[in-house]
Amino acid sequence: MTLPLVTADERTRLLAHDAARVAGQGIDPPPVLRLFTPDAHATWLLVSLGPADGDTAYGLIDLGIGMPALGTTKLSNLAGIVGPRKLPVRRDQYFRAVRPLSEYVRLAQEDGSIPD
């Protein structure tokens, strides 16, 4: 059984964070979800989702090459990615953010990767 990349509850929270950003609220939310490749060391900590297409997510992206950065990604693109052992991107169903996004960014820049 394959889990969806984003649950309905996560989608609601991602959209709410984007609405707050668009409204000009100075927010620094914790990431809503963590996506990862089990066999390629790539990780996405996502905090918002644009309502225009419901597909463009924003967050901290670590492609496993030592250069984590803030950016956008398409959920539909992530759904098609597989690692070297043909394992797809997965949602970390046990992930619970313990800090705001800015702290994850600071730590990732210091360490060269997103901290677990």
Q: Name the nearest CA neighbour of 9 among 30, 25, 28, 32.
A: 32
The Cα–Cα gap between 50 and 92 comes to 21
Section 42-58 average pLDDT = 94
Section 2-11 average pLDDT = 86
For residue range 62-97, list pLDDT tens digits in order: 998 889 999 999 999 999 998 889 999 999 999 999
The Cα–Cα gap between 70 and 75 comes to 15
The Cα–Cα gap between 113 and 116 comes to 9
What's the confidence (pLDDT) of residue 69?
94
State the total domains in the chain.
1
The verdict on residue 1 lying in a domain is no
The residue segments making up the domain with residue 31 are: 8-111
Q: Which residues contact 65 (CB under 8 A, 6 or more apart)?
A: none
* Cα distances (Å, whole numbers) of residue 33 to 25, 48, 79, 91, 116: 21, 10, 15, 7, 12
Give this prediction's pTM: 0.91
Section 26-41 average pLDDT = 92
CB count in 10 Å sphere of residue 51: 12
The verdict on residue 116 lying in a domain is no
**Hey, what amino acid is at 47?**
V
The verdict on residue 2 lying in a domain is no
What's the confidence (pLDDT) of residue 21?
85
Query: At 23, is the pLDDT very low, low, confident or very high (cuts 50, 70, 90)?
Result: confident
